[in-house]
Amino acid sequence: MHTFPIPTPGFGTYRLEGDEAKLAVENALDVGYRHIDTAQIYENESEVGDAIAASGLPRGELFVTTKVWHENLSSDKFITSVQNSLTLLNTDYVNLLLIHWPSPDNKVPMADYLHELKACKERGLTEHIGVSNFTQSQLDEALAILGKDHILTNQIEVHPNFQNKELVEYCHRNNIQVTGYMPLGVGKVMENDVLKALAEAHQTTPAAVALSWLNHKKIVVIPSSTNVEHMRDNLTGKQLMLTADELAKIDAIEPQERIVDPDFAPDW
């Protein structure tokens, strides 16, 4: 089995707020997740920090990811915003710090914010650094700025209904781990006939089949749920083995539709 530098599955906290976020993270840690993914813009770092503290788990057993929002990319805001995230998370460091989105319209030059990102690693504020929502050409630029082997991951939208194949292959060729967000396509995988048939054959759920497929592709996943049964189910995708023929059926799913495309997104 492929071993990931980032624990998979991780637990995603996008759209979770307040007490709901705290309870969801507490439950996720309780059922066995050891990687929690948050971001400055989610406005739940403090609840994530509270849940981690309440769990009583040693910090060394956890992998915590957060992301710098694009309004904090300038050098006068960057490190201060990261220190604020650490305060909210009630930790001295995160395991992975990501650029959440490339600077819209290159308002902040990439070299500026990637050097700030690297400085966070040098200061011990983060163990690893990476990016999110970067295109191939942006990754080319990032690799030219930082050099090889500095960017641990590119966190991108990947699920059976949007397989993002060229970008995934580019990352793997360049030794960049792919982390797939929205790996269940905001629940749309549950309605897919191919996944439903495979789930029935394996006596499991379409979600577990989708996560198994991503695991076979060596993609880290960060599903999100507030339902404890779904959390447990999402953990089982790692144990489910699919045949080459079954994987090929999922590879062939059409249509391919991107879900996340805000107005500040790069030119995909």
Q: How far apart are CA 135 and CA 138, in angstroms?
A: 5
Return the CA Rg of the chain: 18
Say if CB 183 and CB 151 are below 8 A apart. Answer: no
Question: Is 42 among the catalytic positions?
Answer: yes
Instruction: Give the integer Cα–Cα distance in Å for 267 and 104.
Output: 10
100 assigned binding-site residue? yes
Question: Cβ(206)–Cβ(233) under 8 Å?
Answer: no
Exactly one of 42, 113, 170, 181 is catalytic; name it. 42
Q: 51, 25 in Cβ contact below 8 A?
A: yes
Residue whose C-alpha is closest to residue 81's, from 50, 108, 55, 53: 108
Give the residue carrying structure tokens 């308002």.
107
What distance in Å separates the CA atoms of residue 161 and residue 150, rounded to the nearest whole number? 30
Give the type of residue at 213.
W
Contact 64, 97 (CB under 8 A): no
Which residues are identified as catalytic? Answer: 42
Binding site residue list for substrate: 100
